[in-house]
Amino acid sequence: MRSNASIVVACVALLVLCAAIVPSSEPVKLKYPVSWPTPTYNFAANPLTAEGIALGRKLFYDPILSADSIVSCSSCHLSFTAFTHVDHAVSHGVGDSIGTRNSLALMNLAWSKRFMWDGAVNHLDMQALAPINHPDELGETTAHVVAKLQRTSTYPLLFEKVFGDATITGERFLKALSQFELTLVSANSKYDRVMLKAEAFTEQEANGYALFKTNCNACHQEPLFTTGEFANNGLPIDSVFNDFGRMLITKDPEDSLKFKIPTLRNIEFSFPYMHDGRFKSLRNVLDHYGEGIQHGPTLAPELQKGLALTKNQRTDIVAFLLTLSDREFCFDPNFAYPRE
């Protein structure tokens, strides 16, 4: 009897070992230009797999994430417009409730250090918690979303393929969403092809690029077109939203009126502009940097004198900014609604 018992124990131990060794899905390596910096996302803690990315994509487009089963992540982050809510100053969620900020375009998230306009979220995995639990966005609780997913006939099997068993947890749900979001790499604009010497700027675009490098590049740094930091870009405070930006998170007066410096990639598609969507066109934005700067103790040092740009120079900069559009990214079938 004794030896039988030890054989049983040994077999169990062996099974445990095998389960740990056998890979459950197909590994994927994130593709990005060799000249780019190393991503900040820790892929070792959430290794990309084909199955994980597909699951994240399904979740991204599934309104089961919302209280009314109508709103999904993609409602405010549309693939065709670089994953933002185009033509809405601020975004809206369940029951037509209106938020207070303009949804950010989603791309190159593996390089982002802090998320949301005020940097409230410290990690891509944790970002989805904010809109899911916000009463004016998806209006749900994460625990309830996870319970709903577990009750479906499809999701437990998909989670099993990615994570080895059919139990859906908050961690697995968030990591799957991250996997899809991490693949949203935009690096194939005309600008990128010019940098690779595969294409050339027009004279106007080249002028715009030169002006960009002297006037804008300090904050909208290449190749990601953002430093990932926060700055007060001289917008007068909106009297309706009364939004002090990053200070609401850090409670530090030095962060008053500072907002995330957004990437300028695909800026053509992500109108209107600024955290509250107050500017309808890129021209409005450049006019703000020319004559609209409001001075204050936290104003970005680069903007103390405004940007002295002639009308023609502004037109040239806009022409350059349009070279940051990546149509292949916006119409990539791997990023669109997953038809089964």
Partner 1 sequence: MKWFPLALFLAFSVLNATAQSLGFVPVLEDEGLQLNKDRLLADGRSLTIETFKFFIGHATLFSRGQIVFHDSAYHLIDATDPESLNILLKATQKLKFDSVSFTLGVDSITSVFGAFGGDLDPTNGMYWTWNSGYINFKLEGTSPVCNTTKNAFNFHLGGYLAPYRSAQVVGLRVPSQNEVTIGIDLSKFFLEVDLAKDHTIMSPSARAVELSSILARSFHIVK
Which residues form the interface with partner 1 (CB under 8 A)? 6, 9-14, 17, 42, 45-46, 120-126, 129-130, 132-134, 142-143, 146, 169-172, 174-175, 178, 249-251
DSSP annotation of 291 reads: I
Distance CA 16, CA 50 (A): 25
Task: Give me the least distance between CB of 152 and partner 1, in Å please.
Answer: 17
Locate 155 and state its tokens.
């999701």
DSSP annotation of 288 reads: I
Task: Give me the least distance between CB of 250 and partner 1, in Å please.
Answer: 7
Distance CA 272, CA 87 (A): 6
Task: Give me the least distance between CB of 103 and partner 1, in Å please.
Answer: 16
Task: Give me the least distance between CB of 214 and partner 1, in Å please.
Answer: 35
CB nearer to partner 1: pick between 41 and 212? 41
CB nearer to partner 1: pick between 4 and 214? 4
Task: Give me the least distance between CB of 146 and partner 1, in Å please.
Answer: 6
CA distances from 317 to 3, 195, 282 (A): 80, 17, 9
Region of 91 on the Ramachandran plot (φ > 0 left; ψ -120 to 50 alpha; else beta): beta
Judge whether 257 and 232 are in contact, CB under 8 Å: yes
Judge whether 290 and 307 are in contact, CB under 8 Å: yes
Identity of the residue numbered 216: C
